[in-house]
Amino acid sequence: GWLIPGDNSQVQNFDEELLMPSVKMYSRGRQKIKSKRVADVVEALIGAFLSSGGEVAALSFMKWLGVDIDFVDAPTPRHFPMNAEKLVNVRYLESLLDYKFHDPSLLVEAL
C-alpha cells in the first residue's frame, strides 16, 4: 500500500478492504480512507503547489510523494494570465458557496 511521506510511525502496514467490488478502503488501526478521497486530496495539494509555486514546485512535490518525474524535460515558464472570471461567473458561484476564493482559477478547474 501507499505510505505517507515523512510518516515516522512504527506500524507500516495498511490493510486493503473491499466493501463492494467498486469501493476500496485502506485502514490502519481505526482510520479508514476511501481511495477516491486520497486521490482528491493529493490532486488538491498538487494544484495548490502549481498555483502558488508553478510547475517546478508542483513537480518537486510530486517527486517528494514518490511519483516518478522526468526532470530532463523541465517545464518552461509561461507568461500568460489566467482570467477565470471570463470563463464562469465566479462571483455568483462564490455567493452560492458563501466562500471567497483567493485564486478563482481553482474554482474553474474544480468545475
For residue range 80-111, what is the model confidence (pLDDT) as tens digits?
A: 666 656 778 888 888 888 888 888 777 777 76
Residue 71, C-beta contacts closer than 8 angstroms, at least 6 positions apart: 59, 63
pLDDT score recorded for residue 46 = 92
pLDDT score recorded for residue 80 = 61
Q: Give the pLDDT band of residue 9 (cuts 50, 70, 90).
A: low
For residue range 32-80, what is the model confidence (pLDDT) as tens digits?
A: 778 888 889 999 999 999 988 888 899 889 988 888 877 666 566 666 6
3-state SS string for 2-66: CCCCCCCCCCCCCEEEEEECCEEEEEECCEEEEHHHHHHHHHHHHHHHHHHHCHHHHHHHHHHHC
Which of 101, 67, 104 has its CA nearest to residue 86?
104
